[in-house]
Amino acid sequence: MCAALAEAIPTIYVSSSSAVQSEFREVERFSTTVLNAYLQPVMAEYIRELEAAVTDAAPTASLGLNQSSGGLMSLARSRDLPIRTALSGPAAGVVGAAHIARQVSRPNVITLDMGGTSADVALIREASVPIAFGPDVAGFPIRMPMVDVETVGAGGGSIAWIDRDGLMKVGPQSAGASPGPACYGQGGRDATVTDANLFLGRLSQGGLLGGAMALDLDRAREAVEGIAQALRDVCRATGTGSDRYRSS
């Protein structure tokens, strides 16, 4: 069936559950296959651009992609099974950490990989990479082996906001790399963790990347003061309501 479809309509991408995950558990198998089909055109375009860039820079280089279980995949296999690259970045970090743990004779370590949008944590025992089978990705059940990484939406770009009860929360919304935190000076206006750290003096005003990337303290202060004003408004409204309740 898949071969016939591919031959009849060469421009479409075909995912077969027997190729993606040939096991029982129909719901997980179906979900994994649907996500694989969704990712195929995106991954194909990404690999095309990556392969062209690497070929121009290093024509003799051998290229592979990390997969969720911690190993490498060929480009052809990555095009067919892109779902196996889900969370492959954090997985590669854990594999590297396990290698370093062995080198320094510290077999039991906790890894923390924090970026702009998330923080990834893994527990390494006896310098072995932890593997889980069948975790969820973005709320969808996935049936395949993956490095056991717990992810939370907390990073340098996580945005501070006020919920409907007047409480300040941070994340999971993120300013990302574009526009990024307000202090990047790229149009971001929301207060982020990075803005707060710059405002509090935890980050150097000299900038990042050895000074190559400037940080704007005034923009960080403006963003943080916006959240502070929102909190003051909540406190004022709470005080007014309490006074009215007392008077009644």
pLDDT tens per residue across span 34-78: 888 888 899 999 999 999 999 999 988 888 899 988 888 888 888
Distance CA 185, CA 183 (A): 5
Q: Output the pTM of the full model.
A: 0.70
Amino acid at 159: I
**Could you give the 3-state DSSP secondary structure of residue 136?**
strand
Task: Sort strands 65-66 and 72-73 into parallel, antiparallel or unpaired.
Answer: antiparallel
**Could you give the 3-state DSSP secondary structure of residue 179?**
coil
Query: Which range among 99-108, 133-142, 208-217, 219-228 shows the weakest confidence by mean pLDDT?
Result: 133-142
Tokens of 148: 């056991």
Task: Starting at the earlier edge strand, list the strands of the sheet with 119-124.
Answer: 109-114, 119-124, 150-152
Tokens of 68: 């969720």
pLDDT tens per residue across span 155-173: 889 999 988 888 888 888 8
pLDDT tens per residue across span 67-87: 988 888 888 888 888 988 888
What average pLDDT does the chain have? 83
Residue 243 has pLDDT above 60, yes or no: no
Distance, first Cα to last Cα, the chain: 75
| 195 exposure class (CB count in 10 Å sphere: 0-12, 13-18, 19+) | buried
